[in-house]
Structure 1
Amino acid sequence: MVAADNIQKTPAESKFDLISYLKTRQALCETALDKAVPMQYPEKIYEAMRYSLLAGGKRLRPILCIATCEMMGGTIEMSMPTACALEMIHTMSLIHDDLPAMDNDDYRRGKLTNHKVYGEDIAILAGDGLLAYAFEHVVTHTENVPPERILQVISRLGRATGAAGLVGGQVVDLECEGKTDTPLETLNFIHNHKTAALLEACVVCGGFVAGASTEDIQRLSCYSQNIGLAFQIIDDILDITATQEQLGKTAGKDLKAKKVTYPSLWGLEESRQKADQLIEAACAELQPYGEKAQPLIALAHFITNRDR
């Protein structure tokens, strides 16, 4: 859960209780995720999948999906299977990211990483299992949503996860390790694919489920691309300024890996300013939706105000 002292409200959010909103939505997501992947034979793989999927976290991605669906006139029930699938895909990316062949990390969300508990072989398979099941879960559990909208969701999830999204961003990220001359253009490519692509899918898929128009989808894409890049900038800042206890994972990894980050190019102060500008641009896209957009606006500001 998100602690109250981790959130700072802006004047625009003063009428919206983000703390209560997050607690309620997080509880709904936790229950749905627990139910989505029950223990069964072979127990070892399901235990490994559940170990990482139910390890906590902000649940920002499924909550963004649900909030968007509600803003566009849909319901929590309509969007929950897609929201769960997005968290499964995100969890897969974390399991694989932490492997020795990738970022080689020992801790995630304050716990030992999956491969440290179950071994590299099972960790790889746990990630694979979550990825495959994410698509199945959308198809088999989404109710009261026209099939063509479900197809849109499946298509966007595939694009966000594959070489045009997470995988492509990770490949370029690995290629740039130790290269201190990585240009801003390449850094933007990495994070627009590795981080922002899945966040964009969360928002856009929430719109798809609710039947958003083409114009709405364009606005949602712009909103989510901006918050996605802002999210990564803040991640880069926290890697420098936060402790391992705050982050729940190893701090200072980027410096040790000699990775170019936004703070290394711009410095901490300018990086924060850039993140704030991106959030302002994101929120501007939501003006046509009035009060219905309050959750998404508050979530955007939460991204820059978080301390983990």
Structure 2
Amino acid sequence: MSDKSDSSASFENYLAECADKITVVIDQLIAPAVGPEAQLMRAMRHGALAGGKRLRPFITIEVGRMFDAPEKSLLRAASALECVHAYSLIHDDLPCMDDDDLRRGQPTVHIAFDEATAVLAGDALQTLAFEILANPETHGDATVRCKLIEVLASSSGSRGMVGGQMIDMAPSFDDENALSILTRMQRMKTGALFACAAEFGAIIGGANEQEHHALAGFTHDLGLAFQIKDDLLDVQGDESVVGKAVSKDKDAGKQNFVSLLGEEGAVSRVNMLADQAKQHLSVFGGRASTLLNTVNFVLDRHH
């Protein structure tokens, strides 16, 4: 096996280890319930414990580790972020949104349960995220906890993820401005939670202004590269590997980076963004080696 393959396998193993830690924390936070509300808890667990790369929590953990932040704080904050991400996927899969039957290789929540339960499970995961961040177990300093809550609210709300989803619901974009609108949409819908992930680690770790700025640039470019790669997988991927339906945008007549830039243009844009993301990390020197490998993972991923 080549050095690159060894390095890639080692990184993916490390990513999986961090994902397992997050799964353990979320499993404890959404304990199985008995009684009339038990189905809601089962649906929350179905959506939040289904696996996945847990890339956003991973970024929180790795940014925090660069500043020697306490692992318990990082894991709890990262788990709160993953609850919001899970809620967004549950709602994104609903018939009124993308109408998907498969997510992470298993039936989506509204298929496994029903639409009403899926809506409520998403709602409950969102509120759970803020409950986690508000708890003193996440951090002993109330000012830090309030800052985490503020960042998550801003990143996931109308100026971030939800606002991006609203743009995505538009039937089509104006041809003249399609690329700029699409870029704005994805920076809000996808990129905002990537930015939140790094900001969580930086807040808990006590980063300075220059470091916050560098991390914002890093996640700005990484998040967009991740989404363009997602669009490429929608065209090139195998459903059994990707774990969800492919060719969705084409079948729905929706524009994405591949339809606007072509496959070669999309690949070129991903590579450019990846290079920029790495450049932002230069201020951290060797401390950012794992984050540099995260960029390579986004470039090379097949699911």
Same fold (TM over 0.5): yes
Please state if 1:192 is matched with 2:187: yes
- Please, which moves more after superposition, 239-248 or 21-30? 21-30
- 1:79 corresponds to which of 74, 78, 93: 74
2:135 alignment partner, SS class:
helix
Code of the aligned partner of 2:298: I
- 1:36 corresponds to which of 29, 33, 38: 29
Residue in 2 that maps onto 1:19: 12
2:169 alignment partner, SS class:
helix
Superposition TM-score, scaled by structure 1 size: 0.92
Question: Aligned partners of 2:3, 2:19: CA distance in 1, in Å?
Answer: 18
Question: Aligned partners of 2:125, 2:16: CA distance in 1, in Å?
Answer: 25
CA contact (8 A) 1:168 1:194 kept: yes
Q: CA deviation at 1:72?
A: 2.2
Residue in 2 that maps onto 1:264: 259
Q: CA deviation at 1:254?
A: 0.4
Please state if 1:153 is matched with 2:148: yes
Question: Aligned partners of 1:178, 1:15: CA distance in 2, in Å?
Answer: 38
For structure 1, the 5+ residue unaligned runs are: none
- 2:288 corresponds to which of 285, 288, 293: 293
1:100 alignment partner, SS class:
coil
Question: Aligned partners of 1:225, 1:194: CA distance in 2, in Å?
Answer: 12
Identity of paired residues, percent?
33
Question: Aligned partners of 1:9, 1:275: CA distance in 2, in Å?
Answer: 19
Cα gap change, 1:138 to 1:249, in 2 (>3 Å): same
CA contact (8 A) 2:8 2:297 kept: no
2:155 alignment partner, SS class:
helix
Cα gap change, 1:227 to 1:201, in 2 (>3 Å): same
Cα gap change, 1:256 to 1:178, in 2 (>3 Å): farther
Cα gap change, 1:79 to 1:119, in 2 (>3 Å): same
Please state if 1:169 is matched with 2:164: yes
CA contact (8 A) 2:77 2:138 kept: no
- For residues 98-120 of structure 1, the C-alpha deviation after alignment (integer angstroms, 9 at most, x for no partner) is 00000011110111110011110
Relative contact order (alpha carbons < 8 A, sep ≥ 6): 1 or 2 greater? Answer: 1
Question: Aligned partners of 2:125, 2:260: CA distance in 1, in Å?
Answer: 36
Count of paired positions = 300
Residue in 2 that maps onto 1:216: 211
Superposition TM-score, scaled by structure 2 size: 0.94
Please state if 1:50 is matched with 2:56: no
- For residues 56-81 of structure 1, the C-alpha deviation after alignment (integer angstroms, 9 at most, x for no partner) is 10111111110011012213222111
2:99 alignment partner, SS class:
coil
Q: CA deviation at 1:180?
A: 7.5
Residue in 2 that maps onto 1:245: 240
Q: CA deviation at 1:17?
A: 3.7
1:56 alignment partner, SS class:
coil
Code of the aligned partner of 2:12: I
- For residues 239-289 of structure 1, the C-alpha deviation after alignment (integer angstroms, 9 at most, x for no partner) is 000121111111110001111111111111121111111111111111121
Question: Aligned partners of 1:288, 1:246: CA distance in 2, in Å?
Answer: 36
CA contact (8 A) 1:180 1:259 kept: no
Residue in 2 that maps onto 1:66: 61
Q: Superposition pairs for residues 270-285 of structure 1, below 5 Å?
A: 270-285=265-280
- Please, which moves more after superposition, 127-136 or 257-266? 257-266
CA contact (8 A) 1:86 1:134 kept: yes
